[in-house]
Amino acid sequence: MNHLIAPSILAANFANLNDDILMLNQSQADWIHVDVMDGVFVPNISFGFPVINAVKNIAQKPLDVHLMIVEPDKYLEQFAAHGAYMLTVHYEACIHLHSTIQKIKALGCKAGVALNPHTPIALLEDILEDIDMVLIMSVNPGFGGQAFIPNTYKKIKQLRAMASQRNPHLLIQIDGGVNVTNSLSLLQAGANVLVAGNAIFSDAHPKSIISTIKNLNPNTQIA
């Protein structure tokens, strides 16, 4: 499978979100990554349904919704109604994760599970066949613009090995500190969905950053 690029609108210009979404529509972005933060699960608050609704009305790409909230079950139906294609919940926020995954699928969405940097891959052992994607956090969730945590590479390799027989189509998404410099090695470790916020929106030419990441070839040998 060719890898996917999902720009995170957390780093977009909220005073002119319209232009940034139109830019993404015209870019090689595959999905639009939507970070929802509740100020409880993470020490930050981002945005909620009115903003997601506005994005949905102009976006021509699937919405990849990353829920950094406690008790996500309460809101799954609303996120599905607001156009979520992928709904990703945090392992650490779900007491009955299997049940939450089944609810997401019953709503017609793809189901993702996110792991914080300290959460081991092995904890996915008994849920691996039930999910479409694992989001490996490569920073502590809550803020854009943080430095990438190198231990992520080990986790990607472990997960790819674990999934190779049991869920070969599993998407492995990396979120936090992704940029043009580390993207190739993340893909080569086994990731196939890259989220990037600041690397894209802080650049003067966001569309060209998106296409640079999108057009990387993981079969390239690193010298």
Residues that bind ligand DX5 (CB under 6 A): 8, 10-11, 33, 35, 66, 139, 141-142, 144-146, 175-178, 195-199
Site string for Zn ion, 24-53 (x = CB under 5 A): -----------x------------------
* Residue 136 Cα distances to 22, 171, 178, 194, angstroms: 28, 11, 12, 10
Residue range at the interface with Zn ion (CB under 5 A); choices 57-65, 119-127, 172-180, 199-207:
172-180
Q: Across-strand partners of 6?
A: 195
Contact present, 151 and 104 (Cβ < 8 Å)? no
Residue among 168, 223, 178, 142 nearest 5 (CA):
178
Q: Indicate the burial class of 44 (C-beta count within 10 angstroms; 0-12, 13-18, 19 or more).
A: middle
Least distance CB 72 / Zn ion (angstroms): 14
Nearer to Zn ion, 27 or 88 (CB): 88
Contact partner, 139, from ligand DX5, Zn ion, none, Cβ < 5-8 Å per class: ligand DX5
Binding segment (CB under 5 A) for Zn ion, from list 159-167, 170-178, 183-191, 212-220: 170-178
List the catalytic residues: 35, 175
**Distance from CA of residue 168 to its chain's centroid?**
19
| Binding residues vs Zn ion (CB under 5 A) | 35, 66, 175
